[in-house]
Chains A and B, each alone.
Chain A
Amino acid sequence: QKEVEQNSGPLSVPEGAIASLNCTYSDRVSQSFFWYRQYSGKSPELIMSIYSNGDKEDGRFTAQLNKASQYVSLLIRDSQPSDSATYLCAVNAGGYQKVTFGTGTKLQVIP
Chain B
Amino acid sequence: DAGVIQSPRHEVTEMGQEVTLRCKPISGHDYLFWYRQTMMRGLELLIYFNNNVPIDDSGMPEDRFSAKMPNASFSTLKIQPSEPRDSAVYFCASSTTPGQGIYEQYFGPGTRLTVT
Which A positions have Cβ atoms within 8 angstroms of B? 31-32, 34, 36, 42-46, 49, 51, 88, 90, 92, 94, 97-104
Contacts and interface: CB of A to CB of B under 8 A. Distances in A.
Contacts of B31: 97
Contacts, number: 51
Contacts of B45: 98-100
Contacts of A34: 104-105
Contacts of A97: 31, 33, 48, 50, 55, 95, 103, 105
Contact of A44 (B50, B55, B91): B91
Contact of A49 (B42, B104, B108): B104
Contacts of B95: 97
A46 B108 CA distance: 12
Nearest to B50: A97
B25 interface: no
Q: Chain B interface secondary structure, helix, strand, loop or mixed?
A: strand
B109 interface: yes
B12 interface: no
A43 B103 contact: no
A94 B109 CA distance: 27
Given A97-B31, A98-B48, A43 B108 contact: yes
Contacts of A104: 42
B106 interface: yes
A100 B48 CA distance: 13
Contacts of B109: 42-43
B101 A51 contact: yes
B34 interface: no
A45 B107 contact: yes
The interface centre, meaning the residue of A90, A98, A104 with most chain B CB atoms within 10 A of its CB, is A98
Contacts of A43: 91, 107-110
